[in-house]
Structure 1
Amino acid sequence: MTQINIPNEYSVELETPDIEPYAAGNTGIPYVWRFGSGLPGPNVMVSAVVHGNEPCGVIALDWLFREDIRPLCGSLTLAFMNVDAYHAFDSADPNRTRWLDEDMNRVWDKEVLESDRTSIELERARRVRPALEGIDCLLDIHSMQHLAPPLMMSGRHRKSKDLAARVGVPERIVGDAGHAAGRRMRDYGAFDDPNSTKTALLIECGQHWEASSGALAVEATVRFLAATGTIAQDRVDALDPVPQQSFYTVARAVTIESDTFTFAQPFTGGEVLPDAGTLIGHDGDTPVTTPADNTMLVMPSKRLWKGQTAVRFAVPDRPG
């Protein structure tokens, strides 16, 4: 096991649902379920717990099972991903089990999946990969290290921002290209192909263990399923009105190049800094500054290791 020794400064407000009732699956892949409608329509997937210490997605999937949600058209796949890390979760040390061997959300390059490398997370990704092949729309549910406004990470292409707008929550939508350390599941295959209609969203529901992250995970899932036509719109009509959304695009992901990275202030994410050139921190001796006016900081990390993303700089989209 790769140790992640990061002190926890937040209360664990969420209870972690028992996923053993879902262990068998019905796809030949443990913890992966697929329900068909028998009618033409999109093949939709909702995935949770790619990171073992992010229970909000498990709460959303558990809710879908308990509510007996079934697709009106196409198919609905529900997948618990990094189940070994989730089973190892300990609320007394909740940062430790984000993964066991490596970050499962950095292994989704075809070359990596088909390589000779091995790890707990990579083997699970290989096992789950066939379930992804026919998916038209994916919602991958995550949460964040810090208390910060929730985000919908839409990837690089307009098709995903358009789907995020139809989902309607959360308030901030961020287009980005991922991380230098490896490819995310939401960028796998045709999801990241501008010429394909297949698309994916990754929602960051708030701080990992705050109660509101579980509630948002459920709401966003319901809205996503309605936006894709998988469930009836009347499920959404009963929800509160959505806020006015704002759209950003990542102008730069700061990949750590030295052995030491320090932030200039205790940033938590979501801060919008009005002036270009504002000092954010130092990568070794190199100052790191914002690239433009009104730059939003996206998920400054506690994992300040060489090769990892320290923070992403997002700028507002221009009208039109």
Structure 2
Amino acid sequence: MTSAGREPLPVRAPAPRLSETLPPTPPRLPTFTLEISPPDLSPWVAGNTGVPGLHQFDSGRPGPHVAVSALMHGNEYAGAIVLAELLRAGVTPRRGKLSLVFLNLAAFARFDFERPIASRFVDEDMNRLWRRGTLDQPVASSERDRVRSLIGFFDTIDMLLDLHSMLWPSDPLVLSGPSEAGCALAREIGTPPLIVSDSGHAGGPRLIDYERFVTPSTGARACLLEAGQHWAAATLALTRKVVSRFLGACDVIGSAEATGTRPRVAEVTECVTARTTSLTFLRNFRGGEIIPLQGTVIALDGPEEIRTPYDDCMLIMPNHRAARGHTAVRLARVVA
């Protein structure tokens, strides 16, 4: 897409000198305050289905199969706290089925207050594996084994909310994936006030990109909550609110009252993948920040400048320590 009839500039361009639009002040790693403690999941690890961490409740009445998943990454445990709260409260759907699933229990078991980032996964990012062809490859991996044990379960889901949080400072958002169905589900939830439509990562498909949720003929819908910084109390509070609204919107528990606001929708047009080990942003950008001018240099990736391709470009979840081959930032245009 273009803005005001102008072709967007290349996202990458040779960098004989630094742009003068933003002075280079490479960000330092933040100091993290753990405001919430990891939950005790020992009562829930076994599940009630024969699959560890998977709990399923059937109302006995016709209705959709609705699921909420947490712990895709072992150090993102705000969602796990909320699922444990629902289980302790004896959650029961009034129609259809409700499933609650703790995904990467092995990574969560490694969480260490002294090294809170290290337990994101055991062998590889679980949220890049949701394709049957990927799972058919003879690769030894804790995460692949776990996805293999669960993928048949997700083939039965009609509506899914996958709970996440973020390492770097960012406005909360819902990722709706590439399908309009996911965006519609995010609108029905109604909060947080930013929906991001995107096509995922070069490294592999997320759960919300799984064929079940992006094939129109299935009617299944999924979206992913990024509720805020991993260990912040505000992240936990928002996760509780969004889960409650999701269950109400699906009409399995409670009801989702109107929020009085219409979320903005931003469409990702560029996914910037780090080509070197030294990609550096020129300053501490916050996720959700809008860069007014087309062509603004926001980062250096080795000898290349990363530029905004159009005016009013929104930065989605900039990763200030992106490894080579990993997503550094997504560039988006607000469309609604």
Could you state the TM-score of these two structures normalised by the residue count of structure 2?
A: 0.88
**Whole-Å Cα distance in 2 between the matches of residues 118 and 7 of structure 1?**
32
Structure 1 pair 8–282 and aligned structure 2 pair: CA distance change class (3 A): closer
For residue 78 of structure 2, what is the aligned residue in structure 1?
Answer: 56
Aligned pair 1:38/2:56, yes or no?
no
Letter paired with 1:65: L
Structure 1 pair 64–242 and aligned structure 2 pair: CA distance change class (3 A): farther
CA positional deviation for 1:125:
1.1
**Whole-Å Cα distance in 2 between the matches of residues 63 and 277 of structure 1?**
47
CA positional deviation for 1:242:
5.5
For residue 96 of structure 1, what is the aligned residue in structure 2?
Answer: 118
Moved more, 134-143 or 110-119: 110-119
- Residues 277, 289 of structure 1: 8 Å contact kept: yes
For residue 236 of structure 2, what is the aligned residue in structure 1?
Answer: 214
**281, 288, 295: which one pairs with 2:306?**
288
- Residues 169, 242 of structure 1: 8 Å contact kept: no
Partner of 1:21, secondary structure, is coil
Mapping of residues 1-320 of structure 1, within 5 Å: 9-233=31-255, 236-237=256-257, 241=259, 243-318=261-336
Q: Deviations over 1:67-86 (max 9, x none)?
A: 22211111011100000111
Structure 1 pair 7–91 and aligned structure 2 pair: CA distance change class (3 A): farther
Partner of 2:218, secondary structure, is coil
CA positional deviation for 1:146:
1.5
Size of the aligned set, in residue pairs, is 309
**Whole-Å Cα distance in 2 between the matches of residues 39 and 32 of structure 1?**
21
**Whole-Å Cα distance in 2 between the matches of residues 312 and 56 of structure 1?**
24
Letter paired with 1:37: S
**Whole-Å Cα distance in 1 between the matches of residues 52 and 93 of structure 2?**
21
Q: Deviations over 1:172-228 (max 9, x none)?
A: 000011000111011112201234311101000000011011111111111001111
Moved more, 217-226 or 192-201: 192-201
Aligned-residue RMSD, C-alpha: 1.6
Q: Deviations over 1:8-31 (max 9, x none)?
A: 522010111111101221111011
- Residues 52, 97 of structure 1: 8 Å contact kept: yes
Runs in 1 of length 4+ with deviation above 3 angstroms? 240-244
CA positional deviation for 1:130:
2.1
- Residues 31, 80 of structure 1: 8 Å contact kept: yes
Partner of 2:98, secondary structure, is strand
**Whole-Å Cα distance in 2 between the matches of residues 118 and 300 of structure 1?**
30
**Whole-Å Cα distance in 2 between the matches of residues 242 and 300 of structure 1?**
29
Letter paired with 1:275: L
Q: Which runs of 5+ in 2 are unaligned?
A: 1-27
Q: Which protein, 1 or 2, shows the higher relative CO under an 8 Å CA cutoff with sep ≥ 6?
A: 2
Q: Which structure has the larger Rg? A: 2
Q: Deviations over 1:60-106 (max 9, x none)?
A: 10121122221111101110000011111112211111111111111
Partner of 1:59, secondary structure, is helix
- Residues 49, 80 of structure 1: 8 Å contact kept: yes
**Whole-Å Cα distance in 2 between the matches of residues 7 and 257 of structure 1?**
21
Partner of 1:20, secondary structure, is coil
Q: Deviations over 1:98-149 (max 9, x none)?
A: 1111111111121111221121111111112222110011100000011221
- Residues 59, 218 of structure 1: 8 Å contact kept: no
Could you state the TM-score of these two structures normalised by the residue count of structure 1?
A: 0.93
